Amino acid sequence: MPGRRGFWILLLSLFAVLYLGSDGVELLVEWTWFSMQGYADLFRTIVLTEIAVGLCVGAVIFIFLYANLAWALRQIGDPGRFIPPEVAATPLGQMLTGRNIRRIALFGSLAIGGLTGVATASDWDVLLLFIYGAEFGQTDPVFGRDAGFFVFTLPLWERVQSLLWVLGLISTVGAGLIYLLRMQGEQAVPFQGSVRSLILTGFGRPERTHIAVLGAYMLIVIAFGSYLDRFAELYRPGGLFTGPGYADINGTIPVFALKIAAALVSAALLLYALPAKRYKLVIGIVGLLALVWIGGNGYSAVLQRFVVLPNEANKEAPYLVNHIQATNQAYDLHRVRERSLDGEAKLTRADIDRNYSTINNIRLWDHEPLLDTFSQIQEIRTYYDFVSVDNDRYVLDGELRQTMLSPREMQSDSLPSRTWVNERLIFTHGYGVALGPVNRVNEQGLPELFVKNIPPSTDYPELAVTRPEIYYGEVVDDYVFVKTDQKEFDYPEGDQNIFSTYEGQGGVEIGGFWQRLLFAIYLRDVKILLADDFSDETRVLLFRDVERRVNMIAPFFRYDRDPYMVIHDGGLYWILDGYTTTSRYPYAEVAEGIGNYMRNPVKVVVNAYDGDVRFYLVDDSDPIVKAYGAMFPGMIRPITDLDPGLRKHLRHPVDYFSVQAFMFATYHMLDPGTFYNKEDQWEVPIVDQKPMEPYYTVMKLPGEEKEEFILMLPFTPRLKDNLAAWMVARSDGEHYGQLVVYRFPKQKLIFGPRQMAARINQNAEVSQQITLWDQSGSNVVRGTLLVIPIETSLIYIQPLYLKAEDGRIPELKRVIVGYENEIAMGLDLEDALGQIFTDGPRPALAEARTISGTATRPIGQAKSSQLGLTGQALAAYQTMERASRDGDWSRFGDALNRLGALLQELERAQP
């Protein structure tokens, strides 16, 4: 027996050492990593708060629970004598002596306290937000409390109430089991007769008093919970809207006051009745509580059914006003600027010319076709991968140009030889980017690139990349080692490979034996100890996925799903958008998966070479980010500290805009009657059985003087297909974050995206061409249908891509333009526009650039701009001029033949 006991003690001790040792290693490594990133104070604050919360909660739980168990054990004397004989005869029963039972109570209380402390330590932010939280400046209309009370104060009190309830329940059950143990032992035949007779004979006055105190304690906790539940009604989703309506204000919330009174009165009566053996009074207490709880809930249901529903619009009107105002505040929609468009103006050639920059920045390359193309023409090697395309803008040759950029990242899974040395020491980073305009292709229908190849080459100084290595990205997350004796693969050059050594300061030094041992344990990689290529300067790069990296530092923010890369000053930088959210804003509508409040106050910049992470504040009006700023001084820098060159690339994020647009589609209706009847509700258009997604573009907004980078989404009326409005988020300069909605008059029909898509499908020329391609064995890929505002009108643009049945490279073959009742399909955008807008002289067009000898054509410019054969002849002649300058003699010959044919037709047309 002693040998077996010693074995289990040794095994448990070994498990405890290993467990604590693993946690200790993780804590030490993360402390080192946070220190290297410059966030040691943040890590220290979080860890110390977790320890403080865990210790305090654990100590309170342990003291309260053990005090109650010890008191109960003291009342019954030696608990071992109450063990039933049949149990006492077993080996386990022989161990259940009075002393051991008291030890079980002690260590059980300690274990429950410790586990509860560990579980609640993760609520460190609840405590710190309670301490540092500030006011929102918005008062709820029911209790008159600032919204900050619901977001910062109430969560802590709810956690306290939950802990007090669990503590009382465990203590009551534990004490009750001890008293039942004595009653079991004192009965000749266990539990003979009724439970009532057993309690009457088995419980003495001290036991009844103890149980009465615990029962009263739990009733007080219930009263406290009901008091807090009153406030929770303000953000609880209901049937018609979030927050309390007529039945809640006049039924549910007053009933909570009745519940509080009933619980407190019941607690006082219980303290008298149970010790005095007034069991009928105890039964009366139970009946009273049941009556109040069941009857109170029923009263609210009766109000809703017989008072509210017959006249719901009028009864709920004042509460709908609260709900609408709060929702607009919660999603920053109260600052939306609304402008009206008459929809009467007709677009002309002159309008197209005045909006040349808008036309020249229309996105004709969708993300998926462009990724497929990049994968075929720019991956260079199989172990490189393009996983995302980012929309951005650059000023090139004095012109604002929208671009699409994709980083060339290292995909270690695709290495031809996946050895530990290759994956950890040699193939450590991606290299460079592919970047091109959104609207240019070459003669093969492939995208023109402003930045391409390895090493990166470009004709634009603004896009020069002098530090192309990508150690931190979207697909790399495995750790690698740099500054080793093994040279790193940099990039391929012909049949040879170019190697380099990391020159940055990223990572954690592991040159010494103890550091290597520490990381070998942490990473569970014994090869770290055995490697011969490590030197005193060797560093390990951890958490290389930029989203995970940022989450490691600041897990209290939510982050946009689309980090995007920026070229600046020769380097590559990731920009992420950080959100603050809560589900406790009074009366605000809930966005699924988000909560009922959302802001985008933080921009995060990550250096792709050394992993440096910096947080910048772009919205200092958000109380939640203010609280975290006070929590961690110096972590969030003012936006003025961000390099102006990078600041120009900030953009309103898609995820945030999508939530705002979804909410505004309903909550632009400020009148409660209109809102109740959903008379003017909008929705995001459905095209090809899926809702349209917001898209970036460069355009000149109506009434503005110059083009800017915006995020846009159209709206249609609910259950209808005509266009009702379009919403934009501005991103440039002083207008950053500004939301503008342009409304069309309700009495005028403006074709919506779904209607235009149907018209395109019905167009004979379009359907004939698609059918021809399909019959030839090619796959036609329809691009995104874009709504492009020009002046106060709209045009629709849809690109068509062609992909061989067994090929992966899509080619841009046609562009479709729709305007009012007209549909045109051209070889490119200028061709299609020229078929519709034919009045007026041809505009002065920017010339196509020749990149590395590859002729390109601008597809964002007008091609045929005069009515009849004369305009077509002029267009053919200008095509010849451009082809001659580009050295594209094939295109020159085609244009010459076309010009000759047109001149012959002109001659025949002469009277």
Angle between helices 205-232 and 253-273 (to 10 degrees): 170
CB 134 within 8 A of CB 625: no
3-state secondary structure of 495: coil
How many whole angstroms separate alpha carbon 779 and alpha carbon 770? 9
Average pLDDT per block of 10 residues along the chain, 911 residues long: 48 46 80 92 94 94 92 74 60 63 85 92 95 94 96 97 93 83 54 49 74 93 96 92 94 94 93 85 88 89 92 94 97 95 83 87 89 85 89 92 94 87 93 92 85 93 95 90 93 87 92 86 89 91 95 96 95 97 96 95 97 96 96 95 95 96 96 94 91 93 90 94 94 94 90 91 87 79 91 91 78 91 88 80 36 38 41 69 65 74 68 51
Q: Alpha carbon of 443 to those of 448, 808, 883: distances in Å?
A: 10, 18, 11
Sole residue written with tokens 């020329």: 765
Q: 766 with 743: CB under 8 angstroms? A: no
> What is the per-residue pLDDT for 84?
61
Alpha-carbon span 383 to 414, nearest angstrom: 5
Q: State pLDDT tens for residues 40-59.
A: 999 999 999 999 999 999 99
179 touches 202 (CB < 8 A)? yes
Q: How many Å apart are CA 501 and CA 381, to the nearest integer?
A: 21
Q: Could you tell me the maximum CA-CA distance found in the chain, to the nearest angstrom?
A: 129
Q: Provide the angle, in degrees to the nearest 10, between the axes of the packed helices 98-121 and 40-76.
A: 150
- As a whole number of angstroms, the distance between CA 619 and CA 627 comes to 13
Scored b (16 or more CB within 10 A) or e, 239-269 reads eebbbbbbbbbbbbbebbeebbebbbbbbeb
How far is 731 from 693, CA to CA, in rounded Å?
18
CA 568 – CA 649 distance, rounded (Å): 9
One-letter identity of residue 853: G
Could you tell me which of 568, 589, 562, 587 has the C-alpha nearest to residue 579? Answer: 562
Determine contact, residues 692/658, Cβ cutoff 8 Å: no
State pTM to two decimals. Answer: 0.86
Q: Please name the residues in contact with 225: beta carbons below 8 A apart, sequence gap of 6 or more.
A: 161, 165
Residue 85 CB contacts under 8 Å (≥ 6 apart), including other chains: none
Please tell me the distance from the alpha carbon of residue 873 to that of residue 589, in angstroms, as a whole number. 60
Contacts of residue 123, defined as CB under 8 A and 6 or more positions apart, other chains included, come to: 53, 159
Return the SS3 of 243. coil
Can you tell me the distance from the alpha carbon of 198 to that of 184, in angstroms, rounded to the nearest whole number? Answer: 9
Phi, psi of 759 (to 5 degrees): -65, -40
Long-range contacts of 827-830 (CB under 8 A, 24+ apart): 828/441, 828/857, 828/858, 828/859, 828/863, 829/359, 829/362, 829/364, 829/439, 829/797, 829/859, 829/860, 829/861, 830/858, 830/859, 830/860, 830/861, 830/862, 830/863
Pairing of strands 613-617, 636-638: parallel
Asked if residue 192 lies in contact with residue 183, where contact means CB atoms within 8 angstroms, the answer is no
92: β partners: none
The percent of residues above 90 in pLDDT, for the chain, comes to 56
Report the alpha-carbon distance of residue 386 to residue 410 in Å, rounded. Answer: 9
Cα–Cα distance measured from residue 824 to residue 830, given in angstroms and rounded to the nearest whole number: 11
> CA 656 to CA 331: how far, in whole Å?
9
Look-up: residue for tokens 């055995």?
530
Residue 14's pLDDT is 44
What is the predicted pLDDT for the residue at 2? 45
Q: Name the pairing type of β-strands 571-582 and 597-607.
A: antiparallel
CA-based nearest residue to 437, from 421, 455, 459? 459
d(CA 81, CA 210): 22
